[in-house]
Structure 1
């Protein structure tokens, strides 16, 4: 098995942050992490002279030449063989890449990539796959059989890709900047082991074609990965940590969390115990945040209606315009005898040209773009609507939109001329002028307000919006009418008086007007028509107690960990009883451990024993002449002895019994008591 790190940076570039290369750090890194193969893969450049210097200094390992290319908004590693003939050609190709990438925003196209590198079978190509910035799947598909592996950013993603037959072979590398001042305790340990003897591009490619020959540990079939530079391992599944008080368990958990650089879900001891009033309020607030999407989904379409009505003239304004229009028509009829040459001209009472609306055509353009940009259903769409036809339709829609825009510019200009002429004619005539009114729009506005009132009354009726199971809990989200002005404050409008507005709550139109008058922001008004309640119910259908809140919080935190790369839990037994640990916590933890590394510190036999872990760690504190040292012994649950990184051993049976049962004597006494009670 060869330990490989095929993603190392030694030269900063326009695509990378600045750093100062230190050859001594590279030599120390390779030695301390016991690497067998490395590749120098700087961003969009290859430093031939520096590479030769590194290769000459590291004669005991294989050093491969490489480059990390910005390809179509993603990254891809291109790794070559290290013989002299290949190096000369590879260097010239990398120079072309370097000359094309002038800024951090530049990249090269697929066609340019093919033109530069030519026969791709000569190289090992590894795209960013489950790692940002990802190489787009369309580009990977175009590269075809040249892509057999994908780089990941975490152990969790490595596990996922390893399990999925349809996924590429995963590789996990450091992406390490060999930087002056980096100390050994900061060295990355994200390396991949290849089951090969001789190392070159072809043997590595053959190895990557078989997922079983690519692992995170040197031992075949054992799902471990290195967590600390000293060689300490963890299981990719469930790890249990034992140890006496103050022996370094929390210290170790903190160190593990720091290695994941903010991507660890760390549930610390006692953080789930909510007993004070402020904790209770925080619980309710957290719950509201979690279920905000349910409320938004319920009110989303109503918010569109509210926004539209807010842009519409009020009923009073429309009625006033209509009244003035009718009065002017009657007045004009009654005073027909005063009509003169000016009032008889056609422009005197001419109506404005109505500007074209863009709502419909914009919807069509967006719909066409959606069909064109769809990736998941592209073949299905093109089966019925050929891409060429969609592009032709999009072109014509855009052209029509431009024509309509030009027409509106003419309408505006003509309307301005009509307005000026009408005002001039009015100055010279004694006859009353009939004001301009859009009667069609008047009736549209009236209908909008009627529909808004109907929907507003319906939206606040009491009903359950959604229910969701979470273990033995049920999350219930429901809607109801607001009961008073104070109730309206729950939406978060602490500084606005809503007493006058609530007095009109039964009349949606008047209520809307009062909310505007009270100074409520237009984008929040829709939330003040229906109250949204969030409740957590226990298995009996009753609101949860304080202790049950802790249980619910814990289950939610475990579920949230799916977005992280590791789950760390420090003594969950501090917050819960054994039945909950066994029936709920163990179940969720085991499920999480199938997809990501999980590590739990515990003294409890329900967690430590019943859960059946994949790997055990035991912490021990030693005070020596140079200070305090925290030692870690580890191994499989079935092993007779646990071993530290220096090879020292301790008895697994003894430390497990002492940690979980307070020793063999206490265990025997409890066993006798249980037998007596049973009989």
Structure 2
């Protein structure tokens, strides 16, 4: 990354500036304090070769020759490379402009400009925003040159930067290199040092900066807006320069791409690395998809269980935990058995027997009070309420009225309830003792006389069991039906979570993790016929205890499916794309990301429209390394850096450089990148041209 200022005056404009004296010392301090890598000297319609050479010989940065020019209605800085040919051209141009005596208003025509500035096509032209009219038409007038828009503030920079039809903006100082200036805004270093532009390139050579300035994405007002570079040292002792942003690694098979990735993994902290290995996106597509489905199922199923929590708690408490309603016999069967026993009793019983003359023999037992257990539970809930400090503190802070009276009333009620329960429990104990004594007496009489006890039945309890069994069956019949619980959007797809009955006993066993027991008979006999309570009894008899969190899954199956936006099930390739997008989203939290040949099972449309933008998005916060042989991905990715792997003399070598700079280097050798890039993407220029002909032939119809 380089920091540049291509608009510095070392001589005043006699028509608009107050007189000032050039100071090399001031310019040296400005360059040092601003940490500039390159500057351009651009005096108005003037180029002083002797002064320029003095500056070039003394400054510790690159210095480029230039001129601020009046061009028709434009104010434009013309900057050239620092060589003898261009400095001579600027000298002659300066003399021509002096001869034309332009004054403070006139500007030369574009045709005159092209005549005077012979090599203008290789120049950088910076048109000042606000001083240049019809700035959007610059590209049509001087399209062969690199045209930029010079702005005077960060606000204007952002305004131009965001307009797609505007050239690249740059912010330069327009400084006067002097110690004393009547306009202090032109030589105050503390203010001027924030009016420069950062350029994403490897060095401050003219062509490196020139190529970078062609792309808005390579220009920024702060270093944070751009990507820097750093060296990776590999095992063979060589350094490879890479970008902190998006790196594209190319090369033939066996050229050392995998070796390079292994070196990266050795150098970085494992906790800061996210890797999508070669073929992993295709192989792990189902695993990633299952994970997302499970997340969606858990979310929707949790809400659904919450909606029916009271009903499921009742079923568990009364049919599983206490088993009080899970009868072995039906209501009718139980009643028939009682009547049969009663008829048998009357046949065998002699009313004149001694046993029937004893009152206690015919006495019925006390019925237990079911309300006590319910009140016990409510008392525990009240205790939890009164003991919750967080609740009362929250109430005190967030309500206007005092909560102490409310708390006192609840505590008073709790004490009354405790006293009542205490008395009722004592009565229950007495009843239990009486029932026990009565049972003992009746047993003795039966054993001594041979007269059986009269059959007993708690018709209320029996009917209660019958009633709740029927209600539970009705509830289960209502909910054990196909229903969509929810739809969640993930990337461009959606996951639909469905509740549905089990179709096969294997689905039931898998969902409930039951392997070694056959449930085929009860499944067919009861579940398929919607006799769910009877099915529950069979399951409890077979496996014993049923955990509370497994109760719902005994009756219902939960499935999720991945669909397109049109509700069509996704294809195999779409699954791979979906899983890859999710993996890259997860990768955004890591400092380093490796993506090795992600194109497996993906079509070029997906690569162009989805994958490339996602990789670029991840590289905004992470250092990303992408390996590919796919020409669509490679050619359209527009990485910050290109890394070319080669195998030479049984050793791996690497050349790298800014992709938009069109050069790659290993530190000793620098070459154009086009040949290696096209060789890797298209198997050479001949193949590239041949494919182009084929495409054109297909279009020619």
After superposition, the Cα gap between the structure-2 partners of 1:387 and 1:484, relative to the gap in structure 1 and judged at 3 Å, is farther
Tell me the equivalent position of 1:551.
577
Question: Does 1:516 pair with 2:534?
Answer: no
Match of 1:37 in 2: none
Candidates 585, 588, 592, aligned match of 2:614 = 588
Unpaired segments of 5 or more residues in structure 1? Answer: 1-217
Contact 1:470 1:555 in 2 (8 A): no
1:248–1:621 CA contact under 8 A, matched in 2: yes
Q: Map of 1:442-591 to 2, 5 A cutoff?
A: 445-491=465-511, 492-501=513-522, 502-504=524-526, 505-506=528-529, 507-519=531-543, 522-523=546-547, 524=550, 526-538=552-564, 541-561=567-587, 566-591=592-617
Of 320, 323, 326, the residue aligned with 1:310 is 320
Question: TM-score normalised to the size of structure 1?
Answer: 0.51
Q: What is the root-mean-square deviation of aligned Cα atoms in Å? A: 5.4
1:637 has 2:669 as partner: no
Question: For residue 372 of structure 1, what is the aligned residue in structure 2?
Answer: 390
Distance 1:403 1:574, change over 3 A: same
Contact residue 488 and residue 494 of structure 2 kept, 8 A: yes
- Structure 1 residues 363 and 254, CA, compared in 2 at 3 Å: closer, same or farther? farther
- After superposition, the Cα gap between the structure-2 partners of 1:399 and 1:343, relative to the gap in structure 1 and judged at 3 Å, is same
Residues 119-138 of structure 1 aligned to structure 2 (within 5 Å): none
**Structure 2 gaps, min length 5:** 1-221
Q: Deviation at 1:569?
A: 1.6
What pairs with 1:306-455 in structure 2 (closer than 5 Å)? 306-308=315-317, 309-311=319-321, 312=323, 313-316=325-328, 319=331, 338=356, 340=358, 349-352=365-368, 354=370, 355-357=372-374, 359-360=377-378, 372=390, 382-384=397-399, 407=422, 417-418=433-434, 420-426=436-442, 439=460, 445-455=465-475
Task: Please say if 1:267 is aligned against 2:283.
Answer: no
SS at match of 1:573: coil
Query: Cα distance, 1:571 vs. partner?
Result: 0.8
Decide whether the 8 Å contact of 1:475 with 1:535 is kept in 2: yes
Q: Secondary structure at the match of 2:484?
A: strand
- Who is 1:104 aligned against? none
CA distance in structure 2 between the partners assigned to 1:649 and 1:395 by the alignment: 85
Q: How does 1:6-405 map to 2 (within 5 A)?
A: 222-223=226-227, 237-257=245-265, 259-261=268-270, 264-273=273-282, 289=294, 291-293=296-298, 296-297=301-302, 300=305, 301=308, 304=313, 306-308=315-317, 309-311=319-321, 312=323, 313-316=325-328, 319=331, 338=356, 340=358, 349-352=365-368, 354=370, 355-357=372-374, 359-360=377-378, 372=390, 382-384=397-399
Higher alpha-carbon deviation: 584-593 or 568-577: 584-593
Pair 1:667-2:688 in alignment:
yes
What secondary structure, in the 3-state scheme, does the structure 2 residue paired with 1:509 have?
helix
Separation (CA, whole Å) in 1 of partners of 2:242 and 2:402: 51
Judged with a 3 Å threshold, the aligned counterparts in structure 2 of structure 1 residues 241 and 498 are, in CA distance, closer, same or farther, namely same
Do the aligned residues in 1 keep the contact of 2:599 with 2:628 (CA within 8 Å)?
A: yes
- Shift, 1:582, TM fit: 0.9
For 2:395 and 2:668, the matched residues in 1 are separated by 60
What CA distance in whole angstroms lies between the structure 2 residues aligned with 1:660 and 1:369? 72
Cα contact 1:605–1:660 (8 A) shared by 2: yes
**Aligned-partner SS, 1:482:** coil
SS at match of 1:568: strand
Name the TM-score, length of structure 2 as normaliser. 0.50
CA contact (8 A) 2:379 2:414 kept: no
Q: Are 2:486 and 2:498, in contact at CA under 8 Å, matched by a contact in 1?
A: yes
Deviations 1:154-205 (A, max 9, x none): xxxxxxxxxxxxxxxxxxxxxxxxxxxxxxxxxxxxxxxxxxxxxxxxxxxx
